[in-house]
Amino acid sequence: MPDSTPSDPTLEAFRIADLILDERTVVRRGPDVEHERKVAIFDLLEENFFRPNGSEGGPYVLHLAIEENRLVFDIRTESDAPHGKVILSLTPFRKIVKDYFLICESYYEAIRNATPSQIESIDMGRRGLHNEGSQLLKDRLDGKIEMDFDTARRLFTLLCVLHIKG
């Protein structure tokens, strides 16, 4: 599977048509985080490749939640019929999410006060951590859900948004 979204029309059924975040555990977010959430969802719905193992096709409605330190992918059909659930422990993500939050804070602070070269350096680190978290998500879903790297990146962003507790 290449790391870009397939253009093969037979794969068109393997996509997320809608995404619902379970925001019961989320408290108020700052404008930067809210913007990232909106962009990630918009970009995800515009272009993604998402194939649950053994599935004959969608499109899918993905309900994404954190329950008891687990990331829950509740996959449904467009008619809201259950299609399956994939549950991942969040323990392997703990350090990378924490580091990602710290570098994001530095990045947003740098935007206000730093030189362009300082901002660029911090942004490179931020993107590197984001890519690392995205690859970890893709690897942890291996054999359960196949997806391209861009889809994993957007889902990692949303995993981080669901982590915000206050």
pLDDT of residue 35: 79
Q: What residue ranges do the domains of the chain occupy? A: 9-163
Nearest residue to 136 (alpha-carbon basis) of 106, 93, 165, 99:
93
Across 7-11, 83-87, 125-129, 140-144, least confident range: 7-11
60-86 pLDDT, tens digit per residue, is 999 999 998 899 999 998 888 889 999
Q: Tokens representing 121?
A: 């350096």
Partners of 74 in the β-ladder? 63, 85
Strand, helix or coil at 106? helix
Give the pTM.
0.84
28-40 pLDDT, tens digit per residue, is 567 777 778 888 8
Contact 148, 48 (CB under 8 A): yes
Nearest residue to 129 (alpha-carbon basis) of 93, 88, 100:
100
Amino acid residing at 58: G
Strands of the sheet containing 16-21, edge to edge, are 16-21, 60-67, 70-77, 82-89
